[in-house]
């Protein structure tokens, strides 16, 4: 079966006597047992069975089963947020005295997590050029326990050579984790490229309606899953059946939403590239975007998120232009039905591979509005920006 079919096809759990097309919402704190022996053996059930609401319900397990099928994983674990998936994976993969390597383009909350939390546990961290490919070289010291990739990178959209990085890391005995949030398992399957942990912020495209927080970690190895499940228990992580049900609903329309967002984003990115204020458009499906050839090699499609690097002269008029947008709300996060815009005064912090760009960066998350309406809105709001160029030249 192909991915869009898998998104809507039930797992093989026992449906019970009542059958509808909906996945039931099984709320629980206490789970009850038919015998004393079953009660006393409940701890063994946390991995694949049911023992307590925090450790899984038939609703969360159905979500995990469907995600595991899409990821090509032995098991998937759902956790309370995308960041919880990053933290859990890192804590389960490295020990005090070891080092974690992150791409310079990593999701921004990772930097304070590494500097203030991991460092306090005796876990060191380092950053590498996201375009380094397998050439991590001297950075792959013997103490490296985990190498992260995020492809494409947050805000700056570099597509990484995941298979080359994974091969280099594994050759040195390090594990490899991928943040696959932009692509979702519909567009890229990290585990098939040598990655040990594939994480996804389900809060974005998979849930898809900007109203639920959740994350997933998928692994090809049952022992690794059991370790993740143990750590999630020690940290008290769990997800509710209600929210699992919302994510399952999102998953059922993921394939059509991704196709539509990609189509509209392609038109908007093409338009942006022709504007005088755009110094560079970063969208992996566009030739010239960093790692475009790797995107063509490894991905089966695009998504609705792209960034524009603006000339410095556009900075003074930018807030007015963005606030004039009617259809794009100003906000972080992304992947919902409504279009969003995020504005950075300059490029994000880089400590390994400096970005030469100095101007503002605008990231668009394209939603499900009609693409002609979105183009018209951008044109009316950003139309005045070009005049900043002539006033700067003449002034």
Ligand X SMILES: *Cc1c(COP(=O)(O)O)cnc(C)c1O
- The β-bridge partners of 342 are 363
Find, among 5, 62, 22, the residue nearest to 256 by Cα. Answer: 5
Residue 332 tokens, joined: 């972080």
179 binds ligand X (CB under 6 A): yes
* Total of chain residues touching ligand X, rule CB under 6 A: 14
Q: Give the number of other CB atoms < 10 A from CB of residue 376.
A: 13
Nearer to ligand X, 243 or 280 (CB): 243
Near ligand X by CB under 6 A: residue from 58, 82, 220, 284: 82
Near ligand X by CB under 6 A: residue from 53, 145, 152, 215: 215
Nearer to ligand X, 46 or 262 (CB): 262
201 binds ligand X (CB under 6 A): yes
Nearer to ligand X, 82 or 347 (CB): 82
To the nearest whole angstrom, how small is the minimum distance from the Cβ of residue 70 to ligand X? Answer: 18
Q: Measured on CA atoms in the order 116, 179, 161, 157, is the torsion positive or negative?
A: negative
How many whole angstroms separate alpha carbon 163 and alpha carbon 337?
32
How many whole angstroms separate alpha carbon 349 and alpha carbon 353?
10
The residue sitting closest to ligand X, measured at its beta carbon, is 82
Show the binding pattern over residues 16-35: x = contacts ligand X (CB under 6 A), - = does not. Answer: --------------------
Nearer to ligand X, 162 or 213 (CB): 213
Contact between residue 197 and residue 266 where contact means Cβ atoms under 8 Å apart: no
Q: Measured on CA atoms in the order 75, 259, 366, 102, is the torsion positive or negative?
A: positive
Name, in order, each residue with C-beta under 8 angstroms of 79's C-beta and a sequence gap of 6 or more. 85, 88, 214, 215, 216, 217, 232, 237, 239
208 binds ligand X (CB under 6 A): no
To the nearest whole angstrom, how small is the minimum distance from the Cβ of residue 179 to ligand X? Answer: 5
Which positions from 51 through 80 interact with ligand X, judged by CB under 6 A?
none
Residue 215 tokens, joined: 């994350």
127 binds ligand X (CB under 6 A): no
Near ligand X by CB under 6 A: residue from 203, 218, 245, 339: 203
Nearer to ligand X, 107 or 225 (CB): 107
How many whole angstroms separate alpha carbon 321 and alpha carbon 364?
14
The region of 23-31, 198-206, 253-261, 293-301 touching ligand X under the rule CB under 6 A is 198-206
- The β-bridge partners of 18 are none
The region of 81-89, 266-274, 289-297, 385-393 touching ligand X under the rule CB under 6 A is 81-89
The region of 2-10, 196-204, 237-245, 378-386 touching ligand X under the rule CB under 6 A is 196-204
213 binds ligand X (CB under 6 A): yes
181 binds ligand X (CB under 6 A): yes
Q: Give the number of other CB atoms < 10 A from CB of residue 12.
A: 7
Report DSSP state, residue 34: S
154 binds ligand X (CB under 6 A): yes
How many whole angstroms separate alpha carbon 160 and alpha carbon 4?
25
Report DSSP state, residue 113: I
Which positions from 298 through 317 interact with ligand X, judged by CB under 6 A?
none
Near ligand X by CB under 6 A: residue from 50, 102, 107, 295: 107
How many whole angstroms separate alpha carbon 331 and alpha carbon 333?
7
- List contacts with ligand X (CB under 6 A): 81-83, 107, 150, 154, 179, 181, 201, 203-204, 213, 215, 333
């Amino acid at each position: 079966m192909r991915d869009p079919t898998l998104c809507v096809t039930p797992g093989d759990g026992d449906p019970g006597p009542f059958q509808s097309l909906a996945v039931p919402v099984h709320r629980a704190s206490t789970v009850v047992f038919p015998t004393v022996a079953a009660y006393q053996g409940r701890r063994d059930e946390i991995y694949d069975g049911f023992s307590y609401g925090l450790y899984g319900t038939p609703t969360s397990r159905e979500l995990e089963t469907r995600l595991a099928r899409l990821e090509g994983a032995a098991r998937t674990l759902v956790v309370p947020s995308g960041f919880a998936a990053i933290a859990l994976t890192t804590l389960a993969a490295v020990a005090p005295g070891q080092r974690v390597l992150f791409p310079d383009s990593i999701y921004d909350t990772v930097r304070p997590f590494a500097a203030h939390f991991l460092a306090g546990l005796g876990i060191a961290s380092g950053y590498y050029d996201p375009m380094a490919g397998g050439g991590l070289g001297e950075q792959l010291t013997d103490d490296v326990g985990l190498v992260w990739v995020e492809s494409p990178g947050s805000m700056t959209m570099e597509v990484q050579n995941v298979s080359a990085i994974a091969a280099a890391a594994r050759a040195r005995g390090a594990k490899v984790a991928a943040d696959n949030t932009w692509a979702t398992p519909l567009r890229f399957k990290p585990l098939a490229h040598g990655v040990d942990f594939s994480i996804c912020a389900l809060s974005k495209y998979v849930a898809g309606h900007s109203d639920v927080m959740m994350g997933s970690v998928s692994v090809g190895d049952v022992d690794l899953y059991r370790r993740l499940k143990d750590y999630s228990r020690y940290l008290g992580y769990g997800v509710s059946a209600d929210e699992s049900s919302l994510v399952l609903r999102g998953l059922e329309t993921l394939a059509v939403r991704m196709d539509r967002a990609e189509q509209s984003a392609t038109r908007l990115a093409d338009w942006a590239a022709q504007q005088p204020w755009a110094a560079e458009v970063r969208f992996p499906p566009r030739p010239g975007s960093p790692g475009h050839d790797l995107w063509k090699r490894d991905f089966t499609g695009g998504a609705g998120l792209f960034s524009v690097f603006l000339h410095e002269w556009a900075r003074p008029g930018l807030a007015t232009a963005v606030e004039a947008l009617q259809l794009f709300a100003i906000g972080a996060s992304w992947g919902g039905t409504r279009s969003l815009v995020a504005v950075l005064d300059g490029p994000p912090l880089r400590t390994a591979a400096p970005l030469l760009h100095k101007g503002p960066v605008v990231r668009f998350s394209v939603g499900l509005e009609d693409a002609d309406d979105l183009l018209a809105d951008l044109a009316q709001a950003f139309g005045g920006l070009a005049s900043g160029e002539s006033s700067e030249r003449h002034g």
